[in-house]
């Protein structure tokens, strides 16, 4: 059985209409869409990416140059 898509904020099942995608997708309502936006604005979400030593060194040097 295929599990239906749920809203990432409130976890309610999204309405399904074949051939039509809601303008609110992947949210169930404007409220949930705004809650998600607020969470991003507050820094509650983060995109974490592993960085190699070369990139870390470059970022450190760039930061050091900015402080001069």
User: What is the set of domains in the chain, with CATH numbers?
Assistant: 1-68 (3.30.50.10)
- Global pTM value: 0.61
What distance in Å separates the CA atoms of residue 34 and residue 11, rounded to the nearest whole number? 15
Q: What are phi and psi of 13, to 5 degrees?
A: -70, 140
Task: Give 16-62 pLDDT, tens digit per residue.
Answer: 888 888 899 999 999 999 999 999 999 898 878 888 888 888 888 87
């Amino acid at each position: 059985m295929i599990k239906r898509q749920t809203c990432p904020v409130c976890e309610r099942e999204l309405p399904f209409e074949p051939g039509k995608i809601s303008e609110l997708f992947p949210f169930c309502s404007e409220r949930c869409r705004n809650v998600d936006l607020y969470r991003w604005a507050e820094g509650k979400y983060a995109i974490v990416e592993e960085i190699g030593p070369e990139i870390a060194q470059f970022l450190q040097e760039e930061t050091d140059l900015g402080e001069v």
